[in-house]
Structure 1
């Protein structure tokens, strides 16, 4: 009887997490500021910057610089995208600092080399670097400190910091690839010829080339200030040195030497862009995402679909709840896979129709409770913005049924097999980092930077790892006519910072790493807070589930590498047996993980008490500090 009692108690706690106040990591509390990111040292960089008198934008930039310097699944040559709440205008700003495909990067170029998608690694995987420009744009326009002050922690780390085991072991694991690129080999393999050639955990890892690059940026700022330039002009002088000066020249030389396509003109033409964020209202909460060059709108579509169901009555992670949310995510991701692309390049995506509440109702009616639908495909959002779909023939040629009175069918070659090998899961979960910052003045920043992760090809003597984001393009318009690679175009990426306002004031700022799972986990995190009343720490640690029924955005240069896996679902290992059995009866293939939360980082704004709550998942090395 005792065993039965405790088993039932465990199921009760698992199904009703609001009753379980204990979390593995404590919630963070702050009155003045909150700084959360992917590494403890980088969170400390944010805290240092706040203590200097900086605002949340300054702190976010310092954390971004530190995470890049620590190779936290990104580096300085990657890409940055951010949502910023400006308390003066009471508006959310969207920053697009995604690099673009370089000169010569065409579908025909990659097809001639035998690719179905651009490569995963190396110089041909690189878009133009966006993170330096994004950081300096944010700092110049919305920060308060100098570039020198904000870069100080990262520069000290570049001079030498104790490398953590995760990064050190990643270097060792990828050393065969790193040896292909001379500047990567020189930087990362600190013990050449030994059995372990990578640094050891705790070893002081020195990056002299990167330190020199960052020093040049600070020198450009100082020179401009001496010439009487304003703070903003001085920071943009540093920007110019990176994109048009001697740093740009060495970056391009190093890239070209190793077979890359990026030109000086590519760097000079690129600019970070400020955009209007996309938003939907879910039960009184305004949720903000970046535009459709990210996968962020898929979460907004999911919320629109799920608004048609009583999720709270289903119960947290009941079989019915899991099935309903899984189907809604499949519907949203099917649209993502076909309709999302660079909002600044032709053709124009039907985003107004995709985010229409009426379109969501139509999609919601496709959800059946008898069984998982393995044939979910993209819908037709064009009528919901008063247009005719120009791609009906293309969709039908792929095997989709677009008659709204019938089911949507996926083509046979999309269905794939039902196995999920470790390599596939690695591509599905492939991560980055997140940066969340807020201050008592009301500035809020959510960033999901990425690119230039290990194994990174370093561009010459800059110390800068080049992006690998080209792989998120397609070469075949039948897969997605909006996301075909072309020079000057941005790929449709998985990176997706999030923000929510309630009653016109900040409510949540949240982000997660993990490739195609990002908006799956963020959707569930948001529902955990709004529908089930969890704190941000509880919601950050709560058991999520993931669908593999989507086209992968990363990894594998062959079509077979990226096909959807219908019905595959990742569940937390604590999922009750009765829920498992019900899902099996619905046609799901189950796999399990011990932590399925993200890792998620988040800030909640407690207006009742005038304080900040921070949540940082127990999944990885993410860490936060509040004051």
Structure 2
């Protein structure tokens, strides 16, 4: 009898219907390690628990999802959650008043003198990964202030208060503290960085320890100047919006800008005051495609986001559900679809303000059908960019370069390709960021992937502002990508890629993830987990993904590893053997989902469901 009871309990625990009573069991997943966040009024999720708390504070004070997102970006920037105040902010916002999705482009651009010739004259094959020459102009402050002014309800002082409290001193978490210690040799190259990051110079451990109060007085003073500018404008009779833009002006044209430029140039950078003064946040129309009745939105081709849209268009030509979740057929099909889309990314994507990429052709269903025909039973390591121009009724202006690129890749064969994925390659390929997801009962939904200024960062003078390293995402060889060559005032093509999906004209999902070139891979599989395999939002963020390296890394030496794939370590032997026969070079991790954060809107019950994966420190709060 005792054994019978045990058997019944085991059967109950493993039955799908039990997923509403305990952490769920989805298609092919293990039980959730984190619970779903259920909220009626709001949800706030980001990369660090204290960052989520900052959003909760703003919501409890009556702010909307945009106010909360701005406070969370500010807080995570202050906490060096793989970004800083000199980095970049990219966002999608659903406005319930207009019922439209808005795109925020707050990516900095290349400074004066940053040209192909300049970097080649220094013997570089790519712009550097670190240091003042890796920096684009700061974008995050402008992004926060523009979002707040245009779509928020609160003052800048209110949303900056959590980050100012953090700057005055907070108990630093182990991840950041240990990253500082590990990078201290490079940090010591830059005097202002050394002053901030290494409070124990000369001791065995020169970085702060986990739990130690980490103080950033220069940053606090910089944020205080923004608040002061806002207050002065309000006292002069300016509106809330005008007062926030007065702070914006002080950062980009006033004394803060002058110190950023001075401090950057002192350390060998190229910034001029005109570079900061002329930079502007862009409010844009996002790109989108419809996948089986669901409209999926991404930022424009200055990000890698359209590669997810291309992948969906290609995969719409296959019955993924019948293949089975993470079967060998499914993995092979999705892998090659991503390879086709990312090959196009690598050759065609860039800043549309300089050279217009053929996005109409790239996102056409007809082009996707032609690309889908290239997917075979075995992986093709020689997949190259296609020619989308005929699908928008035009001739390819870079056909000669495209042919050179195709011939170079076609000249490779499997025995010549080094698909070994070492630690440095992985670190470059998956260079982190954070994500911010918010939603409220009024209908505002926000998805953000802010980044840049990660440790080790050059701090710009006495501002506390850590500069971006995003210049490294440019290439210097037009044969690689004629659309993504550095020029002053041009934005590099970045990996940062917030996502949003609408169904029947209503927001369905907001989702994002950190992790460099792996971002749109993990987000694509998260979306398919929900749409094709009926997983709930927490099951989908924790589920076993796979990661491909058959694309040019956007960082470091921009390597490509055709056929290389990372699978979760519980992948069955029969799937492993099948993939090996299909030409894949495999390695295995215990967690492969990436730190996905997501919000699902339950219109049936009028509630919000939040998910934060078990991959890292990402954390959420709901009410």
SS state of the match for residue 104, structure 1?
A: coil
Contact 1:415–1:565 (Cα < 8 Å) also in 2? no
- Choose which of 601, 604, 614 in structure 1 pairs with 2:600: 604
Q: C-alpha distance in 1, partners of 2:145/2:281? A: 10
> Would you say 1:374 and 2:375 are equivalent positions?
no
> Would you say 1:393 and 2:400 are equivalent positions?
yes
Alpha-carbon offset, residue 419 of structure 1: 1.2
Aligned to 2:422: 421
Aligned to 2:570: 574
Alpha-carbon offset, residue 397 of structure 1: 2.2
Residues 350-382 of structure 1 deviation map (CA, whole Å, 9 limit, x = unaligned) = 00000000000000000001x210000000000
Q: C-alpha distance in 2, partners of 1:94/1:489? A: 18
Cα distance 1:392–1:411, how it changes in 2: closer, same or farther (>3 A)? farther
SS state of the match for residue 509, structure 1?
A: strand
Aligned to 1:516: 517
- Choose which of 94, 99, 107 in structure 2 pairs with 1:90: 99
Aligned to 1:486: 487
Root-mean-square deviation (Å): 2.1
Cα distance 1:69–1:253, how it changes in 2: closer, same or farther (>3 A)? same
Alpha-carbon offset, residue 412 of structure 1: 7.0
Contact 1:399–1:411 (Cα < 8 Å) also in 2? no
Contact 2:381–2:413 (Cα < 8 Å) also in 1? no
Q: C-alpha distance in 2, partners of 1:464/1:562? A: 27
> Would you say 1:564 and 2:572 are equivalent positions?
no
Aligned to 2:440: 439
Alpha-carbon offset, residue 51 of structure 1: 0.5
SS state of the match for residue 334, structure 1?
A: helix
Alpha-carbon offset, residue 563 of structure 1: 2.3
Q: C-alpha distance in 1, partners of 2:165/2:468? A: 24
- Choose which of 363, 366, 383 in structure 2 pairs with 1:355: 363
Contact 1:251–1:462 (Cα < 8 Å) also in 2? yes
Aligned to 1:331: 340
TM-score w.r.t. structure 1 length?
A: 0.95
Alpha-carbon offset, residue 9 of structure 1: 13
Q: C-alpha distance in 1, partners of 2:580/2:155? A: 57
> Would you say 1:168 and 2:177 are equivalent positions?
yes
> Would you say 1:50 and 2:59 are equivalent positions?
yes
Residues 446-503 of structure 1 deviation map (CA, whole Å, 9 limit, x = unaligned) = 0000000000000000000000000000111110000000000000000000000000
Matched ranges for 1:204-603 at <5 A: 204-346=213-355, 348-369=356-377, 371-400=378-407, 409=410, 416-555=417-556, 561-603=557-599
Alpha-carbon offset, residue 17 of structure 1: 2.8
Alpha-carbon offset, residue 414 of structure 1: 13
Aligned to 1:558: none
Q: C-alpha distance in 1, partners of 2:403/2:444? A: 47
Structure 2 residues without counterparts, runs of 5 or longer: 1-10, 17-24
Residues 217-251 of structure 1 deviation map (CA, whole Å, 9 limit, x = unaligned) = 00000000000000000000000000000000000
Alpha-carbon offset, residue 394 of structure 1: 1.2
Alpha-carbon offset, residue 619 of structure 1: 0.2
Alpha-carbon offset, residue 410 of structure 1: 6.3
Residues 83-133 of structure 1 deviation map (CA, whole Å, 9 limit, x = unaligned) = 000000000000100000000000000001111110000000000000000
Aligned to 1:28: 37
Aligned to 2:611: 615
Q: C-alpha distance in 2, partners of 1:490/1:29? A: 38
Contact 2:259–2:462 (Cα < 8 Å) also in 1? yes
Aligned to 1:405: none
Aligned to 1:152: 161
SS state of the match for residue 499, structure 1?
A: strand
Alpha-carbon offset, residue 22 of structure 1: 3.1
Alpha-carbon offset, residue 400 of structure 1: 3.5
Q: C-alpha distance in 2, partners of 1:474/1:163? A: 36
Q: C-alpha distance in 2, partners of 1:615/1:24? A: 11
Alpha-carbon offset, residue 389 of structure 1: 1.1
Size of the aligned set, in residue pairs, is 609
Q: C-alpha distance in 2, partners of 1:11/1:323? A: 28
Q: C-alpha distance in 1, partners of 2:343/2:607? A: 40
Contact 2:27–2:325 (Cα < 8 Å) also in 1? no
Q: C-alpha distance in 1, partners of 2:502/2:563? A: 34
SS state of the match for residue 591, structure 1?
A: strand
Cα distance 1:130–1:114, how it changes in 2: closer, same or farther (>3 A)? same
Contact 2:429–2:553 (Cα < 8 Å) also in 1? yes
Contact 1:415–1:564 (Cα < 8 Å) also in 2? no
SS state of the match for residue 483, structure 1?
A: coil
Aligned to 1:63: 72
Aligned to 1:4: none
Q: C-alpha distance in 2, partners of 1:435/1:477? A: 34
Q: C-alpha distance in 2, partners of 1:26/1:410? A: 50
Residues 26-60 of structure 1 deviation map (CA, whole Å, 9 limit, x = unaligned) = 00000000000000000000000001100000000
SS state of the match for residue 17, structure 1?
A: coil
SS state of the match for residue 42, structure 1?
A: helix
Cα distance 1:281–1:414, how it changes in 2: closer, same or farther (>3 A)? farther
Contact 1:374–1:415 (Cα < 8 Å) also in 2? no
Contact 2:29–2:543 (Cα < 8 Å) also in 1? no
Residues 135-183 of structure 1 deviation map (CA, whole Å, 9 limit, x = unaligned) = 0000000000000000000000000000000000000000000000000
Residues 277-307 of structure 1 deviation map (CA, whole Å, 9 limit, x = unaligned) = 0000000100000000000000000000000
Q: C-alpha distance in 2, partners of 1:225/1:197? A: 43
Cα distance 1:81–1:413, how it changes in 2: closer, same or farther (>3 A)? farther
Cα distance 1:469–1:526, how it changes in 2: closer, same or farther (>3 A)? same
Q: C-alpha distance in 2, partners of 1:534/1:227? A: 54
Alpha-carbon offset, residue 411 of structure 1: 5.5
Q: C-alpha distance in 1, partners of 2:317/2:14? A: 27
TM-score w.r.t. structure 2 length?
A: 0.95
